């Protein structure tokens, strides 16, 4: 009974007030935490940056260089709304750091980190299942493996790009749609609507579902370049992000033109994956009763003969 109560008590420590304000970002598939925020959370210091600087110097002298070497600088949103580089650690390294900070919150925070890690693993497994389901769906539609790989690459790249611009102040669908069309226009020389016309699609169709493998790869290149420019320039708001998108589209267009020169044909393809139109069956003339072609009297006489 005592063990059960102790387990419940430890479980309750996982929900720690204020922990949700610790900044985190995804980098190369891992979750990284702001070290300064963690230090401030655990110590309650009004100047966590100074506390962390002093602590970092002390750790150098204590031979904790291996832990410190795992620190990387990543852009995170600061109090003024702009993204600034800050020291960041992944979950495993952060667990080692927490052991060096005397705090009544330390044990509960370690439990929180452990649970956060489990949630991340579950989420990654869920995404993997989702991708496999996606593969199976495209296979059932008769798409080849090379096209499926390009389509999934584009989905991953697009999700990363839209997530990036959302945290930078562009999170409404109308603006995202406008930026998408600008990127398509700069990359391929045609807007999204014009691209659909080339492929014989209606406005309701999803253009990406009907792009060729080459078109998908160039689209992914444009959006991945845009994401990199947003981070490099610390772009905020629609106007700055739009400028990045134009530059990224121009970069992808350079690649498209190089491919077109090599292949001797346009990358923008009329190919689509629409079901072929069903052929209309010609109406057959109604069969005429044979008896109507002859005089009934003649027919009966002939039979008798």
pLDDT tens-place string over residues 101-154: 888 888 888 877 777 666 665 665 566 667 888 899 999 999 999 999 999 999
Q: What are the pLDDT digits (tens) for 56-88?
A: 888 887 777 888 888 999 888 887 878 788 999
Most confident of 21-25, 159-163, 197-201: 197-201
Nearest CA among 60, 61, 40, 42 for reference residue 50: 40
Distances 7 to 3, 46, 119, 260 between C-alpha atoms, Å? 6, 33, 19, 65
Q: Which residue has the higher pLDDT, 117 or 2?
A: 117
Confidence of residue 29 (pLDDT cuts 50, 70, 90): low
pLDDT at residue 304, rounded to an integer: 32
- Contact yes or no for 31/116 (Cβ under 8 A): yes
pLDDT at residue 267, rounded to an integer: 97
Q: Over pLDDT 70: what percentage of the chain? A: 80
pTM of the shown model: 0.57
- Contact yes or no for 76/23 (Cβ under 8 A): yes
* Residues 4-25, mean pLDDT to the nearest whole number: 59
Burial class (CB in 10 A: 0-12, 13-18, 19+), 24: middle
Burial class (CB in 10 A: 0-12, 13-18, 19+), 3: exposed
Q: 183 CB contacts (<8 Å, ≥6 apart)?
A: 219, 222, 223, 226, 245, 248, 249, 252
Handedness of CA 239, 243, 244, 246 (dihedral sign): positive
H or E segment to which residue 73 belongs: strand 72-77
- Contact yes or no for 110/92 (Cβ under 8 A): no
CA distance 101 to 105: 10
Q: Over pLDDT 90: what percentage of the chain? A: 45
* Residues 271-294, mean pLDDT to the nearest whole number: 58
Confidence of residue 92 (pLDDT cuts 50, 70, 90): confident
Distances 259 to 77, 86, 108 between C-alpha atoms, Å? 38, 40, 56
Q: 269 CB contacts (<8 Å, ≥6 apart)?
A: 198, 199, 212, 214, 215
Confidence of residue 251 (pLDDT cuts 50, 70, 90): very high
* Residues 241-253, mean pLDDT to the nearest whole number: 97
Q: What are the pLDDT digits (tens) for 154-169?
A: 998 998 899 889 888 8
Q: Lowest-pLDDT range, 160-174, 178-192, 215-229, 233-247?
A: 160-174
- For residue 128, the tally of other CB atoms under 10 A from its CB is 10
* Residues 193-202, mean pLDDT to the nearest whole number: 94
Confidence of residue 282 (pLDDT cuts 50, 70, 90): low
Segments in 64-105 forming alpha helices (H): 65-68, 91-98
pLDDT at residue 149, rounded to an integer: 94
- Contact yes or no for 200/194 (Cβ under 8 A): no
Most confident of 130-134, 177-181, 278-282, 287-291: 177-181
CA distance 267 to 263: 9
- Contact yes or no for 126/134 (Cβ under 8 A): no
Name the residue with tokens 């506390």. Answer: 51
Please give the span between the terminal C-alpha atoms of the chain, in angstroms, as a whole number. Answer: 111
Whether the pLDDT of residue 17 is over 80: the answer is: no
pLDDT at residue 152, rounded to an integer: 92
CA distance 34 to 194: 44
pLDDT at residue 104, rounded to an integer: 86
């Amino acid at each position: 009974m005592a063990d059960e109560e102790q387990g419940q008590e430890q479980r309750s420590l996982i929900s720690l007030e204020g922990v949700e304000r610790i900044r985190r970002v995804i980098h190369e598939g891992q979750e990284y935490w702001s070290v300064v925020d963690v230090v401030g959370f655990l110590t309650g210091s009004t100047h966590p940056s100074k506390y962390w600087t002093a602590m970092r110097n002390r750790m150098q002298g204590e031979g904790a260089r291996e832990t410190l070497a795992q620190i990387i600088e990543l852009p995170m949103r600061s109090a003024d709304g702009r993204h600034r580089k800050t020291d960041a650690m992944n979950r495993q390294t952060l667990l080692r750091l927490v052991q060096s900070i005397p705090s009544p919150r330390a044990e509960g925070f370690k439990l929180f980190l452990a649970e956060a890690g489990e949630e991340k693993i579950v989420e990654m497994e869920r995404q993997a299942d989702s991708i496999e389901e996606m593969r199976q769906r495209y296979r059932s539609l008769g798409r080849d493996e090379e096209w499926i790989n390009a389509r999934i690459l584009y989905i991953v790249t697009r999700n990363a790009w839209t997530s990036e611009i959302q945290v930078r102040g562009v999170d409404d669908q109308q603006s995202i749609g406008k930026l998408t069309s600008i990127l398509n226009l700069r990359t391929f020389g045609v807007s999204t609507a014009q691209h659909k016309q080339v492929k014989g699609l209606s406005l309701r169709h999803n253009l990406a579902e009907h792009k060729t493998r080459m078109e998908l790869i160039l689209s992914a290149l444009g959006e991945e370049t845009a994401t990199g420019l947003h981070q490099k320039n610390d772009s905020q708001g629609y106007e700055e992000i739009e400028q990045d998108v134009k530059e990224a589209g121009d970069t992808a267009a350079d690649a498209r033109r190089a491919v077109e020169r090599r292949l001797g044909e346009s990358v923008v393809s009329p190919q689509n994956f629409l079901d072929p139109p069903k052929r209309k069956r010609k109406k057959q003339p109604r069969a005429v009763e044979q008896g109507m072609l002859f005089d009934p009297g003649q027919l009966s006489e002939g039979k008798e003969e």
